[in-house]
Structure 1
């Protein structure tokens, strides 16, 4: 059977070039907007016009390294959070009633958009710097909202992860911006580079806590955090295996096998990418003991089996590395992205490579023509084990020197809304961000 391959072709770069090192570009979850961090500001690009939409400036005194869009916002309101090396996180709001009538859900027609020579003063006039979240002692390196937008996680060089809760009602009119700290997590032994909340995956079993957080650190580990029955956040697993700084992580955006808990992908300075899977045991249906936790008598279960709700504090989960992607990078992998539409993964790093991978289910031994011998039985066993691990990964294509001689700091999948798209808002492209300050889209065709 012929192996599929990816043709990765450059599209026109977003304009204007930033002319300075850019760190990350994060697409809005539903709108044709892309937020890019560079220097002490953020430039928002329109994915419809491939040009500058607006600028967020004046809120931070040092480099902005991280940005995240808050989900579940009203149609006429945009909000995002920035994380800066000035040790703070900032909340920004674009509030413009005209955007609702303009059909922002489909096209960007916000006032002030478009790379048309407007001054920065004109561009950023509609972004309001609402609130500064302070508490970290050193640089804030990562920020992430949970799926509902109620919680925000920030992480820092001070080796901590902070969890903040929106107690002002962000889904309302925006007049009461109030966030309070609900947890400070300090079990990492090194700088915490990135945080990621597990997505709301359809069909996910309710025996898991509503929100799950993962953090990646310079101590070469990843930690999994859950909220216990007392409302306290506890570390339930430490993922060890990388031999260098874990630069980032992303949860599996969709699952294909029943109600399996989403897997987690991590990437590292050791030039490898790993996939981790929660080891689950069969769910017990019977109740045990007296009714507890306000009438909820079912057991809370983790990788170690049934644990009563009243004992969640001592819960520990077993996670295992079930895949190591083919090693293509020769230096640190700075960024990777996992597509919810196709399941394809792309990675980029300090070696300038852009690589696309696909996961394939193992081919049954019967289809390979192997006779029913001891060797075939062993092959079958290997195939079964691979199937449990989620299949095998292989490289579909790569681009060398994706940003010329410059390092590639970030890559992400995002929807196409530009004039060249065949199916606007449906087909995907890759976007890379590099030290050259250029935001480069890429078309990926599988054949």
Structure 2
């Protein structure tokens, strides 16, 4: 039986072209909107019209490198946070709560505007004025490299060249005020902190009862990823250090939909041109290993103290897969599809690559047919397809899966997925993926 392959086909680029290097494009969690960072501003595109929806400008004095949408906002209201090389994070709000005339009588002005098949140019320019720059979050000493909201939207994580991660809490949410407090400053990385990512709200997230449900990961130029949790005393502590990459860890993504009630795995990608999967060791496995080998020294991030003394603060994570090496240079971005489980990656070599995990049965069968090849974690993930020079000679800075809302999706509008790549050429490129 032939193994499935993937065709990655270009769709029409989002308009207008930005004509300058773009860093990141982040889809809204529920609405057909895409926020792209470039220069010192953000352009929001409608995924329904594949054209510009609005622009956020005037809030930062230097390059905006990252953006995150705050979830769980009231109908008709948008809020996002931008991270800039001016060492600050900015809070923006778009209020489009004017009543619409939808068929059901409850469609908001915002929902109507982003789902129209055609957007009037004058109306589009007016919408640019709807964004308000509400608040500046200051404290980092150097460039803010990434920003990320927790699943509930209560917490915001920011990271910086100053080697720190800050956690902020939205304390004004109940009163509708823009009031944020710093609840933690985490400074255990030995290099610039490149990215932060919160574990998604899935059943297995709260498996470890001695911590709060929220879990944060941070990636650094020190070649490591750290896992952070809030303990019973309200202190954010590093519970694990993931070591294995031979270069800067550019970022990571949590498994969006783990099987059963398992704790989500973590995918990391690096300047060493590799992608790795990390899994939290189950309690039973930890106890068995400790019984066999006695007390062990655990991760260096917790000072090398024997686990018999600081058992409650330690977690063991194992690298359970290393993807086949496709990229020839640094991998800047990777995205794990919640719908299909397919991972897409891109980077400085201009290549887009797709990978799919094979079942344990399939992997075992493949291994059984080849007596000269040792079974390794790498065999569990297979390359489905690649595209070279996806942005011509330019580097690809970001890749993400998002739902299609454009007319070309037909009856599968809002269900079918596509890829979005963002590159140095300032073109935001959608891609259709066909598995055959």
Structure 2 equivalent of residue 152 of structure 1: 156
Q: Distance in 1 between matches of 2:184 and 2:387?
A: 42
The match for 1:295 is none
Equivalent residues of 2:96, 2:108 under 8 A apart: no
Question: C-alpha distance in 2, partners of 1:366/1:212?
Answer: 33
Aligned to 1:356: 354
Aligned pair in 2 of structure 1 residues 416, 228: CA closer, same or farther (>3 Å)?
Answer: same
What are the superposed Cα offsets for residues 417-447 of structure 1, whole Å, 9 maximum, x if unpaired? Answer: 0000030111100000000000000000101
Q: Which moved more, 1:146-155 or 1:359-368?
A: 359-368
Return the alpha-carbon distance in structure 2 between the equivalents of residues 123 and 204 of structure 1.
Answer: 39
Measured after TM superposition, the shift of residue 207 of structure 1 is: 3.1
Please report how far the alpha carbon of residue 40 of structure 1 lies from its aligned counterpart in structure 2 after TM superposition: 0.3
- The equivalent of 2:195 in structure 1 is 194
Task: Quote the Cα distance in structure 2 between the aligned partners of 1:214 and 1:198.
Answer: 8
Q: Secondary structure at the match of 1:420?
A: helix
Provide closer, same or farther for how the CA distance between residues 101 and 25 of structure 1 changes in structure 2, counting only shifts above 3 A.
farther
Compared CA separation, residues 20 and 318, structure 1 to 2 (3 A): same
Q: Which residue among 371, 389, 409 is the counterpart of 1:401?
A: 389
Partner of 2:293: none
Distance 1:135 1:244 in 2: 28
Q: Equivalent residue for 2:305? A: none
Contact 1:54–1:113 at 8 Å: present in 2 too? Answer: no
**Deviation at residue 177 of structure 1 after TM alignment:** 0.6
2-structure distance, mates of 1:108, 1:65: 30
> TM-score under structure 1 normalisation?
0.85
Assess if the C-alpha contact under 8 Å between 2:49 and 2:117 holds in 1.
no
* TM-superposed deviation, 1:362: 3.0
1:119/1:226 Cα in 2 relative to 1: closer, same or farther (>3 Å)? same
CA contact (8 A) 1:347 1:356 kept: yes
Greater fraction helix: 2
Cα offsets for 1:344-393 (capped at 9, x unmatched) = 0000000000111101113369967969xxx99x99xx87x86xx9x700
Q: How many residues align?
A: 409
Q: Give the deviation of 1:282 after TM superposition.
A: 3.1
Distance 1:217 1:365 in 2: 32
Unaligned runs of 5+ in 1: 285-302, 305-310
Tell me, yes or no, if the aligned pair for 1:31 and 1:105 is still in contact at 8 Å.
no
Which of 259, 274, 280 in structure 2 is aligned with 1:272? 274
Deviation track 1:140-164 (CA, whole Å, cap 9, x = no partner) reads: 0000000000000000000000000
Provide the rounded CA distance (Å) in 2 between the counterparts of 1:234 and 1:100: 47
Listed as ranges, the gaps of 5+ residues in structure 2 are 287-297, 300-308
Instruction: Please tell me whether the aligned partners of residues 342 and 355 of structure 2 are also in contact (alpha carbons under 8 angstroms).
Output: yes
How many Å separate the matches in 1 of 2:234 and 2:81? 24
Q: Does 1:317 align with 2:305?
A: no
Q: Contact 1:66–1:143 at 8 Å: present in 2 too?
A: yes
Q: How many angstroms apart in 2 are the aligned matches of 1:155 and 1:17?
A: 29
Cα 1:221–1:35, aligned 2, differ >3 Å: closer, same or farther? same
SS of residue matched to 2:408: coil
Deviation, 1:119, is 9.7
Give yes or no for the alignment of 1:249 onto 2:249.
no
Q: Which of 414, 422, 425 matches 1:433? A: 422
Cα distance change on mapping 1:38 and 1:108 into 2, 3 Å: farther
Aligned-residue CA RMSD (Å): 2.9
Contact kept in structure 2, 1:48 and 1:108, CA below 8 Å? no
Q: TM-score, normalised by structure 2?
A: 0.87
Mapped pair 1:223 → 2:211: no
Provide the secondary structure at the position in 2 that maps to 1:122.
Answer: helix
> Partner residue of 1:211?
214
Alpha carbons 1:73, 1:79 under 8 Å: kept: yes
Aligned to 1:294: none
- Shift of the 405–238 alpha-carbon distance from structure 1 to 2, 3 Å rule, reads same
Shift of 1:114: 6.7
1:123, distance to aligned residue in structure 2 (A): 4.2
Distance 1:29 1:265 in 2: 20
Q: Does 1:134 align with 2:138?
A: yes
Residue 42 of structure 1: aligned partner: 42
